[in-house]
Each structure stands twice: as C-alpha cells, then as structure tokens.
A and B are shown apart, each in its own frame.
Chain A
C-alpha cells in the first residue's frame, strides 16, 4: 500500500472522527446510546479478528475478556469508590493478564480444541464469578450508582474504537500481521521459517483481550447493572465472531462493516421478532460460514473489486 493510500485512509478516519464527535450533541440519549453500542461491537469484532482472523485461532470464549473488564470496573466503582474512567486502564491490564494466564496453556491447542478450551475458559470464569460472592456479589450481580452518563460513555467508547481501529490498521498492514497470517496458514512452516510462534500468538491474544476488557467496562458503566450470566453470555462471543466473519475476517474493513451492518439490522429488524430472533441469528451464522467464509471483503476480492492480500 502506498503512502498516499495510507494518507487517504487516515483522512477518512479523521472525517469519521469529526462526524462521530459532533453526533451526540445533535441527538438524544437513545440514539447516542445506540451509536455507543454500535461502536462497542466494532471494538469487539475487530479485537476477535486479531487472534481469530489473522492468527487463525478461532476463539469461542472471547466474552471472557469483556466480562473480566466489566467486573473489574464494577468492583472498583461500587466497592472501592473509584471514578469509573480511572478504572479503564486497570480493566485493560486485567484483560491482558487474563489473556496470558489463559493463553499460555490454551494457545498450544489447535483448531476445535482451542475453540472448546476458550468456551470452557469463559464458562469457567462465569461460574467462578457466580460463586465468589465476597468479591463479585455473586449471582445477584452488581448495581452501580444511578447516573446519566450517556455522553461520557459515548466519548470513552469513541476513543476506544479509534484506538482499536488504529491498532487493527497497523496489524493489518504490517509484517507483524503478515507473520500472524503465516501462523494461521501453516504454523509448523512458520516456526521453521523463523517465527517464534508462541510469542506471536501470545502478543496477538493480548491485543485481542485488551480492547474487549475496556469495552466491557464502559458498557457496564452505561448499563449500570452487571451479573455473571449477561457479562459472560456466550451470545456476546458468537455475535462478535459473526460480525467479523460476515464482514470478512483477517481484514480491517471487514469487522467494522460487519459490526455496523449486523448491529443495525439486529436493533431495527430482528427485535421485531423477539422469539425468532435467535433462530434467525443462528441460521445467518450457518449461511455465512457455508457460503461466504471470507465475508463481504472476500466477495469483493473474488469479483476483482479489491486486491488480494494485506500488504502490497
């Protein structure tokens, strides 16, 4: 990619940043919150994409980091009286710490074994949070002090989203990302051709854990109530996975487009069918995996409208 193309992309992002900075002043709480949650899904889909799209380790338990973030902020805000903004760095750090503890053993597994281990890790954490009453308030959940903070949480999520896009853009146009791709394509060959795969996988996993932990924390401070079953809900994982796959995993644009597209559809169309909603979601996941495994970006590449590869 040439310098001019990079500059053009930076200009697009600048325009989007300006637009999204003005938007909350022109709308009420509902749309402000709606855009905030859309941005949250962009963060989640892009983060999942770093370990699963680039590195090929399909995580079925990414809600783990989201839940850890929301609980760290919940405990610090409610039990220790921290201001919620100052908890965000701690939440990110905890997400990374958990990614090392979980990733070190689990990233040795491949394919479905890794997927199942991640599912188990997230479920295990849900159970731990449920039973560890003294720290987490157990199954009753944590109720935050009531406050109208749609503006603050909006801007926190805005900053987080642009950080996530920035890091994803770097991964998606650098040799670091190319080397993650090499691990996805053939880990043994990558190792034989000089890549310390353990180190690269842990780095990718840490990056993909950092942003969801903060996203979970911001979300918790907006929702003002968390409990183990919603914060470690498997549907959160499946949704970010589906968004990334629908847009095109292993790309930067894909998860962004997938997250925006699916969240808007979900909010305005699918909620009209409260009982069919989950069924439709499941069918959609199967159709995407079966008929467009490379997502929308993959279709563009197949049609010759977009270039193959991430580095040119």
Chain B
C-alpha cells in the first residue's frame, strides 16, 4: 500500500462545496496518479470546474481535504497553492490582454528568481509553443487558439509538478490542437502530472491514461478509457436511463 500511495500526486477526500444550497461538489473523492495524464469528465454542471477552483484555492471548500505532498491545501490562498507547484489554465482564457506575450510569461516568475533566468525560461517556453514570432504582441491581439497556447505556456513558467487544464481543446482548431496535445505529452514525459477537463471525447479517450467521471458533484466512475466507455452509470449520466 505504501507504494500505491507514493504514486498519487494529489488526492481529494470527500470534498464539499455549496453555493446557496446548490451542492456543486458533494463529497467528491479523487486521486490523480503521479506522472500521468488524467481526464476529468462529466455532464455540464457536474462540478468539474468547481473542483479545479477548489484545488487552486479560488474557492474554499466547505469541508474535505486536498492532500498534496502530505499537506492539506484546503483553505490556502491561490498564490500559496501555486507556489507549491500546482498551476492551471482557465475554461475561458484569462490571458493578460493589454500585456505582450512576453510580459504575460514573465509576470508569473516570482521576484526572487533572477531576471536572466526568468527571461530565459519565458523565451524557451514561447519557443516550445511556437509563439516566439508574437513575443511583443499584445495578448488580446492573439487568436483564441494562440491564447490557449499562451495560457498553457504561461502555466509552465515555474516548472510546476501538477498542471490542471480546463477544456484546453475548446475553440482550438485541429492543427493547433494536435500541437497542444503533443506538448502536453512532452511535459508528461518530463514526469509532470496533468489533469484535463474536456468535453472533446477524442482528446479524453485517446490521451488520458485514467479517466474520472463526475455527476452531481460526486465521482461516479474511474478507470481507463475502454472501461469508462462501457460503464453503465456513465452512459446513464450522459444519455439518461436506457
């Protein structure tokens, strides 16, 4: 069992979050395996994004634990959680529109890191997602797909351990998406843990080693793609009673 526990990057235990009586997350427990790409799916309103917001401190859970490297993150501020190595992107991109691509990148590095290293890292990552030609362009002038790439690259600035991607494929054209998925696999090969929320089932089924399914704020299934596709509860959640 000790071995199995070591393989978990982040674990949620019976997490609860109410919004004025609406139980957005209702006793959800999940454990994301270290060094893998996991998928988090579920119908609209099932609590996926709320879970991400709880994990990153944007919401404070009503109860439950978020265990990461032996520490409970529940109640920490977003920047404190970020500084422990967890970063994210947003469902609707939240790049800094009136800052250049380079400034978007640079803003993430804490001031204790030297200017030179911060700049090197920013340049490397812009190269990584092919945004170097747009280095001095305002973020708001980028196409939506490019903004998704920028947000992804920006989330990697501090070399995080755990990357949470909220619908990375939404609004991205096929070519760019293939590119983005390739980059996600590259960082996974570097030993990083990735969790993807996505409605595009091709992305989820073909790229995630383990898939978690949520409905009404709880986990209703978990497992590899072929199991999830045949799971009765999952089919019911998406398509209703047979």
Q: Do chains A and B stick together as partners?
A: yes
* A interface residues, Cβ below 8 angstroms from B: 175-176, 178-179, 181-182, 184-186, 188-197, 307-312
Q: How far is the CB of A199 from chain B (nearest CB, A)?
A: 9
Q: Evaluate contact between B82 and A194: CB separation under 8 angstroms.
A: yes
A219 to B137: give the CA distance in the assembly, Å: 42
- Tell me which residues across on chain A come within 8 A of B110, comparing CB atoms: 194
Q: Evaluate contact between B136 and A307: CB separation under 8 angstroms.
A: yes
Partner of B102, one of A181, A192, A309: A309
Q: Evaluate contact between B103 and A311: CB separation under 8 angstroms.
A: yes
A185 to B108: give the CA distance in the assembly, Å: 13
* B interface residues, Cβ below 8 angstroms from A: 56-58, 77-79, 82-83, 87-88, 90, 94-100, 102-103, 106-111, 115, 118, 136-138, 154-155, 158
Q: How far is the CB of A101 from chain B (nearest CB, A)?
A: 23
Q: Evaluate contact between B103 and A191: CB separation under 8 angstroms.
A: no
Partner of B107, one of A181, A188, A192, A308: A181
For the residues of A in contact with B, the DSSP-based class is helix
Q: How many inter-chain residue pairs (CB < 8 Å) link A and B? A: 84
A179 to B110: give the CA distance in the assembly, Å: 9
Given contacts A176-B111, A194-B108, contact A189 B96 (CB under 8 A): yes
Q: How far is the CB of A66 from chain B (nearest CB, A)?
A: 29
Q: Evaluate contact between B107 and A179: CB separation under 8 angstroms.
A: yes
Q: How far is the CB of A53 from chain B (nearest CB, A)?
A: 12
A256 to B178: give the CA distance in the assembly, Å: 48
Q: Evaluate contact between A175 and B136: CB separation under 8 angstroms.
A: no
Partner of B137, one of A182, A184, A308: A308
Q: Evaluate contact between A192 and B82: CB separation under 8 angstroms.
A: yes
- Tell me which residues across on chain A come within 8 A of B137, comparing CB atoms: 308
- Tell me which residues across on chain B come within 8 A of A185, comparing CB atoms: 96-99
Q: Evaluate contact between A309 and B99: CB separation under 8 angstroms.
A: yes
